[in-house]
Amino acid sequence: MAIRFSSDFAKNITDKAIHAAVLDTVTALAGACKQISHICARGPLEQGLGVETGAANTDGDAQKALDVRSDEIITKVLETAPVAYYASEEQDDIVILDADKPLAVASDPLDGSSNIDTNVSIGTIFSIFETNDNAASSFLRPGSEQICGGFFVYGPQTTLVITAGAGTQTYVLDPDSGDFELAIADMKITPMSTEYAINASNHHHWDAPIRAYIEDCLLGATGPLGTKYNMRWVGSLVADANRILSRGGLFMYPSDDRDGYSHGRLRLLYEANPVAFVIEQAGGAATDGTRRILDVPLGTLHQRVPLVFGSKRAVQTLGNYHKKQDQL
Indicate if 108 belongs to the active site: yes
Rounded to whole angstroms, what are the CA distances from 310 to 174, 194, 220? 28, 11, 19
Smallest gap from Cβ 7 to ligand AFP, in A, equals: 33
Give, as ranges, the residues between 285 and 324 that touch ligand AFP (CB under 6 A): none
Check binding of 207 to ligand AFP (CB under 6 A).
Answer: no
Binding piece for ligand AFP, criterion CB under 6 A, among 109-117, 135-143, 146-154, 218-226: 109-117
Burial of 171 (0-12, 13-18, 19+ CB in 10 A): buried
Check binding of 235 to ligand AFP (CB under 6 A).
Answer: yes
Give, as ranges, the residues between 72 and 91 that touch ligand AFP (CB under 6 A): none
Smallest gap from Cβ 113 to ligand AFP, in A, equals: 4
Amino acid identity at 288 = D
Smallest CA-to-CA distance from 154 within 13, 33, 291 is with: 33
Smallest gap from Cβ 67 to ligand AFP, in A, equals: 8
Check binding of 111 to ligand AFP (CB under 6 A).
Answer: yes
Check binding of 190 to ligand AFP (CB under 6 A).
Answer: no
Report the alpha-carbon distance of residue 96 to residue 243 in Å, rounded. Answer: 35
Is residue 291 helix, strand or coil?
coil
Report the alpha-carbon distance of residue 137 to residue 144 in Å, rounded. Answer: 14
Q: Which is nearer to ligand AFP, 85 or 253 (CB)?
A: 253
Indicate if 181 belongs to the active site: no
Is residue 52 helix, strand or coil?
strand
Residues whose CB falls within 8 Å of the CB of residue 5, separated by 6 or more in sequence, listed in order:
23, 26, 182
Indicate if 145 belongs to the active site: no
Among 6, 132, 199, 246, contact with ligand AFP (rule: CB under 6 A): 199
Check binding of 236 to ligand AFP (CB under 6 A).
Answer: yes
Q: What is the 3-state secondary structure (H, E, C) of 98-144?
A: CCCCCEEEEEEEEECHHHHHHCCCEEEEEEEEECCCCHHHHHCCCHH
Binding piece for ligand AFP, criterion CB under 6 A, among 94-102, 110-118, 203-211, 278-286: 110-118
Q: Which is nearer to ligand AFP, 29 or 237 (CB)?
A: 237
Burial of 212 (0-12, 13-18, 19+ CB in 10 A): middle
Q: Are 289 and 318 in contact (CB under 8 A)?
A: yes
Binding piece for ligand AFP, criterion CB under 6 A, among 37-45, 112-120, 215-223, 283-291: 112-120
Angle, in degrees to the nearest 10, between helices 237-247 and 273-281: 10
Among 31, 82, 112, 319, contact with ligand AFP (rule: CB under 6 A): 112
Indicate if 90 belongs to the active site: yes
Q: Which of 49, 66, 71, 89 is catalytic?
A: 89
Point out which residues bind ligand AFP (CB under 6 A).
61, 111-114, 199, 235-237, 265-266
Q: Which residues are catalytic?
A: 61, 67, 89-90, 108, 110-111, 271
